[in-house]
Structures are given as C-alpha cells and as structure tokens.
Amino acid sequence: MDDLRFDGQAVIVTGGCRGIGRGIAQRFGEAGAHVLVCCRSEPESLPEGVAFLAADVREPEQIDSVVDACVQRFGRVDVLVNNAGGSPPADSATASPRFTSGIIALNLIAPIVFAQRANAVMQNQDLGGSIVNIASVSGVRPSPDTLAYGAAKAGLLNATQTMAVEFAPKVRVNAVVVGLVVTEQAHLFYGDDAGIAAVGATVPLGRMADPTDVADVCLFLASPLARYVTGADVLVHGGGERPAYIDAAKGTGRD
C-alpha cells in the first residue's frame, strides 16, 4: 500500500543496531525511508542503506548531534522511534541508587529529551512528524528483578500521552507496548530453542514475537493510516500472558 511507503522521509531509530531496533530500521528502509540509527558502538553490519552515528542517548548533547546529523543529511526529521533501552536483572531490595538512576536515565529521560529535540524540528515542517516510543509490558504489570526498568517504561507511557497533547496537531506521539520478543540475546533470558518455544507456548498466539512484528506496528503508527491516532498505547504482546490461576485451577482438577 502506498500509505505504508516512506519514500524520501527521514527516520531516526535509537538503539537500531540490533534486536527490535534493527528490525524497525530495516522495515523503514524497505519502505523507502532514509534511516539513521544511533547506538553507543558501531555494529559489524547494518541493513542496506541504513546510516549509523555513534551516540549515547543518555547524553543530551549527543542527542542534539544525532538530530542535527539527520537534518544535515536528509533535510528533515519525519519519524523518531525511541527504541534504545533495557536493563540487566537486579534485586529490587538491594539495587543501588546509582544503578536505578542509570536505568531511568536510559529508559525514560533519554526518550523524553530525544522527543523534545525531534519535535523542535518537526514543528517547523509542513507535514509535522511522528514519534513512536517503544514501551514494554513491564510498564503495565509487575516487573520482578527489573523494578527501575518497569517504572521507567510506565513513566514513558504517561509521557507519551502528555507529549501527544502538547505536540499536537503537528506531531503525533504514540507508544508500542512490547511483550516477549525473540532477539539475538533471547537465549540469555529464555535458554535454548526449547526454552524459547516453551515460553512462547504461554502466549495466547502460541509464540514469542519477532522484531518484524513490532516493526510493522511502528510503520502503521508513523503512516497516514494512523493520521487520527495519537496518545495511544498499542499492545503488541500476542495476547499477553496466560493467567496463572487458570492452570493452577486445572491442576486441582477444576474445569
């Protein structure tokens, strides 16, 4: 569909060097966009046509460098996908204030600042722009061992709604609430292929997501097809997680 083409448009994907971000960058590139990804270190390879700039999104001046580079190369910023984020596991009762601050800086403060900088450019463009924040189911349910990450993602959902109000009507701001995804690092969390399959079986759709599942929703949200969608939190989690009480009840012989 022509509405899902982004020919001539400029797209920034933070953390676009691997995993979900790489999938998002590749899909926008396939749709004709000029894509600029930023990560702290350059990967061995990137999808064809995707440009790279080293940046730590926790540093506001480096965010400015990415936005400026996009404008200099492509003349505009049409789409920002705030994807960079993550957290190693940490015990909620003992995680240090420094650790907690770092996780919140990466997963909440950085996307807010990036959105501010991109919005400043988009407001001066005839067609405005679109910002897509990559959130997580950790922000809408308990997040054991990733307390700061879950709290930051919950904050990002609120920030999405607030920015959608304040940046309108020129700029639309939406969030994708992502569930379990198979990436290059899935084995660190879910084990081998059998473990990944077992975890996927707990999802109503019967599998964990592929990065392209998330990427396609980002394309929709940034496209004219979503022209009246802003301030939305779109669940991309395959139906979520099967409630534990169902299996527990069946285990006691109940229907």
Active site residue 228: no
What span, in angstroms and rounded, lies between the C-alpha atoms of 37 and 26?
Answer: 10
* Residue 81, C-beta contacts closer than 8 angstroms, at least 6 positions apart: 11, 12, 13, 14, 16, 21, 24, 28, 131, 132, 134, 218, 222
- Selecting among 149, 190, 228, 245, the annotated active-site residue is 149
What's the token pair of residue 228?
A: 């009246």
* Residue among 122, 111, 121 at smallest CA distance from 83: 111
In contact, 13 and 25? CB cutoff 8 Å:
yes
Between β-strands 171-178 and 233-236, what pairing exists: parallel, antiparallel or unpaired? parallel
In this structure, how many other beta carbons lie within 10 angstroms of the beta carbon of residue 176? 27
Catalytic residues, by residue number, are 149
